Amino acid sequence: MWTGIKRTILGEKIDGKLPARVQAAIARQQIQSEILIAWVQVFIVITFSTLYALSPKTFSADAMFAPVPYALLVYGLFTLLRLALAYWGKVPAWFIALSVIADMALLMFLIWSFHIQYQQPPSFYLKAPTLLYVFIFIALRALRFEATYVLLAGASAAIGWLILLGYAVHLDGGMAQITRDYVEFTMSHKILLGAEFDKVISIIVVTLIVALVIVRARRL
Measured over the CA atoms of residue 80, residue 85, residue 89 and residue 93, the dihedral's sign is negative
Q: What is the pLDDT of residues 12-54, one digit of tens each?
A: 677 777 788 988 888 888 888 888 888 988 888 888 788 777 7
pLDDT tens-digit map of 167-215: 888 875 656 578 788 888 888 888 888 889 999 999 999 999 999 999 8
Q: Compute the average pLDDT of residues 63-74.
A: 72
DSSP 13: P
DSSP letter string, 57-124:
P-S-TT-S---HHHHHHHHHHHHHHHHHHHHHT---HHHHHHHHHHHHHHHHHHHHHHHHHTT--GGG
Largest distance between two CA atoms of the chain: 66
Other beta carbons within 10 angstroms of residue 65's beta carbon come to: 11
Q: How much is the mean pLDDT over the chain?
A: 83
Interval 57-63 mean pLDDT:
58
Amino acid in position 67: P
Distance from C-alpha of 136 to C-alpha of 44, rounded to nearest angstrom: 10
pLDDT(130) > 70: yes
Q: Which amino acid is at 118?
A: Y
Specify which of 72-81, 126-135, 164-173, 181-190 reaches the highest per-range mean pLDDT. Answer: 126-135
